[in-house]
Amino acid sequence: MGSIGNVTPQAMHFAEPLRLESGAQLADYTLMYETYGTLNAARSNAVLVCHALNASHHVAGTYAGDPKSTGWWDNMVGPGKALDTNRFFVIGVNNLGSCFGSTGPMHVNPATGNPYGAAFPLVTVEDWVAAQARLADRLGIEQFAAVMGGSLGGMQALAWSIMFPTRLRHCMVIASTPKLSAQNIAFNDVARQAILTDPDYHGGDFYEHGVVPKNGLKVARMVGHITYLSNDDMAEKFGRKLRNAAESNEYAFDFGVDFEIESYLRYQGDKFSEYFDANTYLLITKALDYFDPARGFNGDLTKALAATSAQFMVVSFTTDWRFSPERSREIVEALVSNRRRVTYAEIDAPHGHDAFLLEDARYMNVIRAYYERIGAELEAA
Amino acid sequence: MGSIGNVTPQAMHFAEPLRLESGAQLADYTLMYETYGTLNAARSNAVLVCHALNASHHVAGTYAGDPKSTGWWDNMVGPGKALDTNRFFVIGVNNLGSCFGSTGPMHVNPATGNPYGAAFPLVTVEDWVAAQARLADRLGIEQFAAVMGGSLGGMQALAWSIMFPTRLRHCMVIASTPKLSAQNIAFNDVARQAILTDPDYHGGDFYEHGVVPKNGLKVARMVGHITYLSNDDMAEKFGRKLRNAAESNEYAFDFGVDFEIESYLRYQGDKFSEYFDANTYLLITKALDYFDPARGFNGDLTKALAATSAQFMVVSFTTDWRFSPERSREIVEALVSNRRRVTYAEIDAPHGHDAFLLEDARYMNVIRAYYERIGAELEAA
């Protein structure tokens, strides 16, 4: 059981326009993607892995010459891993509007010759799924063995099950929610306000000013980061430890760094602001806010999920207060009301929302067992 | 049972220097305060009410000609109210470094002739208590019937009980904590980063630039505000309601306002940024972060509270996730270990941390009953 080793991203260009939920249209676009493993002759072993806010198509493996470039779900995806690339053909796609190669705000708007900036149309989870489906068409995948994702990725999996019921046999929704709460939206809006009011944002056209709204992005990331961690885990890892504890263990009495937790979050915020695009952050938080498949059904999630025909695996984590187990149970209950086959696991893990990305034996075993079932079905077919 | 009516703030100047915990010193300073009710002949019926982050000495009543200027705890303090001004002599003091009249960052630094700005020394909860004690000296109050506060105000009450054990008979600690958690500190630091990186902050010297760091203050207040409300209460009041629901009920597909919760928080943030001082916000969040009476006792709160001799009332609210009931119970347990007399009430209220400021029959009855006991002791004395 090891890493899949070196992998290579690929680009697929789509010349056909994509009509978006907002009514806007992308004249053409490119999707970056990676694949691991081999598509079988029946084309029945493909698994689509959908990414969350700040991740990408680079799910597993590393890039040649850059041993630190490990994919974001490398602990989950690889030869002999829970999602076994010896058995499955795994696809990661960078979503439209993201900043890792797929068409997004930093790319040239063919209509103006300048970068889109804030003029890049807002995209929804459903728009992403529509674009992913076109990629699947091109790759000759009529039906996925599974579509899987955590957090915002789980929303995409859920949207797949509604929009293309017959194109996936299994839908795996991890650490997700059928819709954001007011509190979730509030945190997203704090992040957006921090970016939008940073003078270096320049109304989204910061590229041509040769700057990035680093301060805004940093604050946005810091507040987001807090919601990814559990209160208990933060208490255990950081507590009230002072950064200078080894030297003086005294308060600094200024606005620099006193506590380890400040140092950690600022550092992570700084790092994030160096690689992540501000316009992408804005539009992805809106995609999160907007996701609500029950919206067209007067808030009735059971009705929204009536169109599905996949089998489901839903996973939540006990200390996740961003998308708590209660939110996963709403999905499970709506599925059960529709008499769908659904496996639900509530993992007792200390790491809050981030748990879906972390190594945890029970979690990995649950996913592994589920994929063994999918694999057995494959072989029986 | 009504409002106390028109009240008048007073200023008391202190020419004696105040040595602060940081080692810095204020050469002289002024405290704004208000009093309600009448000090009895025995000078035994005084109650000090300590304020939290954004409040002031204006605890109850209104200012003449400004009927909207109701004090922040007017529902608690007044004739016939839970803290009955017919019986008690109530004092509210604006803390040092705040922005409602007591000496603070916007006042002139006698050493430079310019406003202090970020050069105003960081003050601690203990510094505030030391300054309050001097005010009590001047008012001829040797011993308070009670010192009472909510949130950061509760920290001051707790500090009183440790620093001046014989100067209060009752200590009332509401919706508070013996120290901030890593998560609490993290949220405070997000707020500080938003202010510090706002270009209009000008390193704290924005006064002389004729601007205020409104955007930073707005973001700071928004993130703070989220932590004051409970998740459930936010869900009930705002949920996913769209602001334009009456007209179109469609998403806007831009970065303006879609949801009511965004509109509410931005509005509150804007309002806050118009009246609150940015340097004050910074220094008060540091006072919160620094409070930790057990720090000098190797983290042992029981030892920290061994010096106390008051009787205690501790109150928490079930849906308060900023300073949860668990944090209040830590105080109660440490007091019980010291064999202090302590009354603890955990109020089942939906409004999160803000509950301590809101009308709630059970809450008010508990406080009223406790003051009746204090009043009975007064009469028996």
- C-alpha–C-alpha distance, residues B183 and B108, integer Å: 35
CB A48 within 8 A of CB A133: no
Q: Does A180 touch chain B (CB under 8 A)?
A: yes
pLDDT, residue A244, reads 87
pLDDT, residue A150, reads 98
CB A229 within 8 A of CB A351: yes
Residue B294: pLDDT band (50, 70, 90) is very high
Q: What angle do CA A220, A18, A299 make, to 5 degrees?
A: 60
* Weakly modelled stretches of chain A, pLDDT under 50: none
Q: What residues in A contact B24, CB-CB < 8 Å?
A: 253
Which residues have C-beta within 8 Å of that of residue A316, sequence separation ≥ 6? A174, A175, A323, A324, A325, A327, A328, A329, A344, A345, A346, A347
Q: pLDDT tens across B142-192, in order?
A: 999 999 999 999 999 999 999 999 999 999 999 999 999 999 999 999 999
Chain A's closest residue to B253, CA to CA, is: A122
Average pLDDT, chain B: 97
Q: Does B125 touch chain A (CB under 8 A)?
A: no
B151 among known catalytic residues:
yes
A227, amino acid identity:
T
Asked if B290's CB is within 8 angstroms of A219's CB, the reply is: no
CA distance to partner chain A, nearest, from residue B286 (Å): 8
Catalytic residue among A320, A328, A351, A354: A320
Which stretches of chain A are DSSP H helices?
Answer: 125-138, 152-163, 182-196, 214-228, 231-237, 260-275, 278-290, 301-304, 325-337, 361-380
Asked if A292's CB is within 8 angstroms of B234's CB, the reply is: no
Q: What residues in A contact B231, CB-CB < 8 Å?
A: 181, 183
Collapse the DSSP code of B307 into the 3-class scheme (helix H, G, I; strand E, B; otherwise coil) and give the result: coil
Q: pLDDT tens across B215-246, in order?
A: 999 999 999 999 999 999 999 999 999 998 88
DSSP assignment letter at A115: B
In the block, which residue shows the tokens 């510094």? B127
Chain A's closest residue to B238, CA to CA, is: A182
B1, pLDDT greater than 80? no
- C-alpha–C-alpha distance, residues A233 and A252, integer Å: 25
Of B90, B77, B99, B95, nearest to B134 by C-alpha is B95
Which residues have C-beta within 8 Å of that of residue A22, sequence separation ≥ 6? A121, A122, A123, A124, B251, B253
A153, amino acid identity:
G
pLDDT, residue B247, reads 82
CB A279 within 8 A of CB A118: yes
What is the arithmetic mean of pLDDT over B343-351?
A: 97
CA-based Rg of chain B, rounded to a whole angstrom?
21
pLDDT, residue B246, reads 81
Of B192, B297, B351, nearest to A265 by C-alpha is B192
Asked if B215's CB is within 8 angstroms of A292's CB, the reply is: no
pLDDT, residue A381, reads 81
Q: What residues in A contact B189, CB-CB < 8 Å?
A: 222, 259, 261-262, 265-266
Instruction: Catalogue the E-assigned strands of A60-140.
Output: 77-78, 83-84, 89-93
B331, pLDDT greater than 90? yes
How would you classify the pairing of strands A168-174 and A83-84?
A: unpaired
For testing contact with chain A, the best of B20, B189, B242, B283 (most A CBs within 10 A): B189
Asked if A240's CB is within 8 angstroms of B185's CB, the reply is: yes
Q: Compare CB distances from A219 to B24, B185, B190 and report the shortest one's residue.
A: B190
Q: Compare CB distances from A234 to B183, B198, B238 and report the shortest one's residue.
A: B183
DSSP assignment letter at B120: S
- C-alpha–C-alpha distance, residues B332 and B309, integer Å: 14
pLDDT, residue A1, reads 66
Long-range contacts of A297-303 (CB under 8 A, 24+ apart): A301/A178, A301/A330, A301/A331, A301/A334, A302/A333, A302/A334, A302/A337, A302/A338
Q: Compare CB distances from A265 to B189, B235, B286 and report the shortest one's residue.
A: B189
- Compute CA B148 distance to the chain's CA centroid, rounded to the nearest angstrom: 10
Catalytic residue among A56, A151, A273, A316: A151
What is the arithmetic mean of pLDDT over B334-358?
A: 97
- C-alpha–C-alpha distance, residues B173 and B171, integer Å: 6
A151 among known catalytic residues:
yes
CB B22 within 8 A of CB A253: yes
B320 among known catalytic residues:
yes
Asked if A266's CB is within 8 angstroms of B189's CB, the reply is: yes
Q: Compare CB distances from A240 to B179, B229, B239 and report the shortest one's residue.
A: B179
Q: What residues in A contact B239, CB-CB < 8 Å?
A: 181-182
From first CA to last CA, the distance across chain A in angstroms is 27
Q: Compare CB distances from A190 to B197, B199, B222 and report the shortest one's residue.
A: B222
Q: Does B253 touch chain A (CB under 8 A)?
A: yes
Q: pLDDT tens across A1-52, in order?
A: 678 999 999 999 999 999 999 999 999 999 999 999 999 999 999 999 999 9
Asked if B269's CB is within 8 angstroms of A183's CB, the reply is: no
Residue B257: pLDDT band (50, 70, 90) is very high
